Amino acid sequence: MVTILVGGQWGDEGKGKIIDLLSEKADMVIRSQGGNNAGHTVVNAGQEFRFHLIPSGILYPTTTCVIGNGVVLDPRVLLEEMQQVQSRGISIDRLVISDRAHLIMPWHPILDKLEEEQRGDDRLGTTWRGIGPAYADKVRRIGFRAGDLLKPRFLEKKLGFVLNKIKNPILQELYHVPPLEPQAVLDEYTAYGEQLGPFIKDIFPIVQQALTGNEQILLEGAQGSMLDLDFGTYPYVTSSSPSAGGALTGSGISPTAVDLTMGVFKAYTTRVGYGPMLDGVVARYSVALNGIRSIALTKLDVLDEFDPIRICTGYISKGELQSYPMSNISHLKHCEPVYETLPGWRSSTAGIRRPEDLPKAARRYIDRLSELCGAPIDIVSVGAARDQTIWMQGGQTGLAVRQREHEPSHP
């Protein structure tokens, strides 16, 4: 049983909490794209955990947590995170790192920053963590993979080419900054290899075994669909594919193995200066793009005091109604949003646990969103804690039924 979980908007939808809820039933959780530019926050028994690379399923003692081939990982950051998790009494024995995952090398953050500075006013707002340059090198086929850490001689040879012939000349001649010392890089990365070695594996047979054993596999998405390299608001996007397609290539799972794609949406979209509103156009687009058949709507409690609440149901561009965001974001700037106004509920939802206890106006808002998006809302989150959750179809059965509905008819 494979469930893909994706962020439906621009990230920060509160995926961490939903992933944590679903991980309880998962035998394996796989992170399939992004790097330590993304992160999830999980609040568990009053303790807050922030994860950047390790799947949050690590909080459950029997879940296998896989860092998939689609991830780019900074070994230093990963080691720090592993230490932090361990220092809080959590075992990392069930962590597996794909030997195909690409590495952030020391020149990536440097080039990230230098390139951003060169863009001036047109900068992308990257995190300077080297994620984009690492993905670019993967595509240029000069990337270093986690498996390379286990082969110091190969690492040395490759550094001789990539660092000496490509990266150092760029640093020195283009940007006039000091070059990197190959031996120092080799020593640093060989040491990472020694520490990470026991976790680095070919994940393909491991994932295949889980699939044939009909294990519950959760593909945890990072970031959000509108940051997708192809379908997001290019160029203000991330360098990987956070949509459902990316989850598959980033983990080596085939489309026919997927039972359900779940989308996490915040109950609103923040737009500075205009107050909260939900961009229903983006939500509908995400549902269609990812094949979302189940929605987790988070942070409903944030809207408790807003009245009225507006939902954007379409964009008008050059006199024509557009039902999806356009591919060219410069056109978006000239669009006029079409709003639908619903009454707010002006009461706290934070303590509500059953759908029937929701204020009528909140229920109406949820139902209308579901209708506009074209997918059922199965989970409503009304706070950061695990129990601040309303299962809209009663217990977890709604979700299970939806999974069964999408089971392939052949064995």
Catalytic machinery residues: 12, 40
Smallest distance from the beta carbon of 103 to ligand GDP, in angstroms?
A: 23
User: Is residue 326 involved in binding ligand GDP (CB under 6 A)?
Assistant: no
DSSP summary character for residue 175: T
Indicate the helix (H) or strand (E) that contains 79. Answer: helix 75-87
Separation of alpha carbons 268 and 287, rounded Å: 16
Tokens 């699939």, residue? 211
> Phi and psi dihedrals of 173, rounded to 5?
-85, -35
Of 8, 16, 57, 75, the one binding ligand GDP (CB under 6 A) is 16
**Closer residue to ligand GDP (CB): 129 or 167:** 129
Question: Which residue bears the tokens 């999830």?
Answer: 40
CA nearest neighbour of 282 among 380, 343, 373, 202? 373
Q: Which of residues 40, 52, 102, 402 is near ligand GDP by CB under 6 A?
A: 40
Find how far residue 60's CA is from the centre of its chain: 20
**CB-based contacts of 139, cutoff 8 Å, min separation 6:** none
> Which residue lies nearest ligand GDP, judged by its C-beta?
16
Q: Are 344 and 309 in contact (CB under 8 A)?
A: yes
- 20 contributes a contact to ligand GDP by CB under 6 A: no
Q: Which is nearer to ligand GDP, 361 or 384 (CB)?
A: 384
Residues 141, 158 contacting (CB under 8 angstroms): no
Residue 12 touching ligand GDP (CB under 6 A)? yes
8, 14, 252, 314: residue in contact with ligand GDP (rule CB under 6 A): 14
Q: From the CB of 388, what's the least distance to ligand GDP, in Å?
A: 6
Interface with ligand GDP (CB under 6 A), residue from 41, 168, 249, 317 = 41
Nearer to ligand GDP by C-beta: 21 or 311?
21
Cβ 68 to ligand GDP, closest distance in Å? 17
User: How deeply is 95 buried, as exposed, middle or buried, from its count of CB atoms within 10 A (0-12, 13-18, 19+)?
Assistant: buried
Minimum CB–partner distance for residue 387 and ligand GDP (Å): 11
Residues 66-125 close enough to bind ligand GDP by CB under 6 A: none
Comparison of 23 and 381: residue with beta carbon closer to ligand GDP: 381
User: Helices 152-161 and 182-196 sit at what angle, rounded to 10 degrees?
Assistant: 150
Minimum Å gap between C-beta 268 and ligand GDP is 11
- DSSP letters for 106-123: THHHHHHHHHHHHHGGG-
The CA distance from 242 to 118, in Å, is 27
Distance CA 335, CA 146 (A): 45
For ligand GDP, the closer CB: 42 or 258: 42
Residue 15 touches ligand GDP, criterion: CB under 6 A: yes
- 3-state DSSP assignment of residue 367: helix
- Which C-beta is closer to ligand GDP: that of 106 or that of 263? 263
Question: Alpha carbon 259 to chain centroid distance?
Answer: 19
Residue 233 touching ligand GDP (CB under 6 A): no
Distance of CA 80 to the CA centre of its chain: 20
Q: Which is nearer to ligand GDP, 46 or 319 (CB)?
A: 46
**Is 246 an interacting residue with respect to ligand GDP (CB under 6 A)?**
no
CB of 184 to ligand GDP, least distance (A): 34
* Per-residue b or e along 236-250, where b marks 16 or more CB atoms closer than 10 Å to that residue's CB: ebbbbbbbbbbbbeb
Over the window 352 to 391, marking each residue x when it contacts ligand GDP by CB under 6 A and - when it does not, the resulting string is -----------------------------xxxx-------
**Which residues 283-302 are close enough to bind ligand GDP by CB under 6 A?**
298-299, 301-302
Per rule CB under 6 A, is residue 11 in the interface with ligand GDP? yes
Q: For binding to ligand GDP (CB under 6 A), which residues are involved?
A: 7, 11-17, 39-41, 43, 298-299, 301-302, 381-384
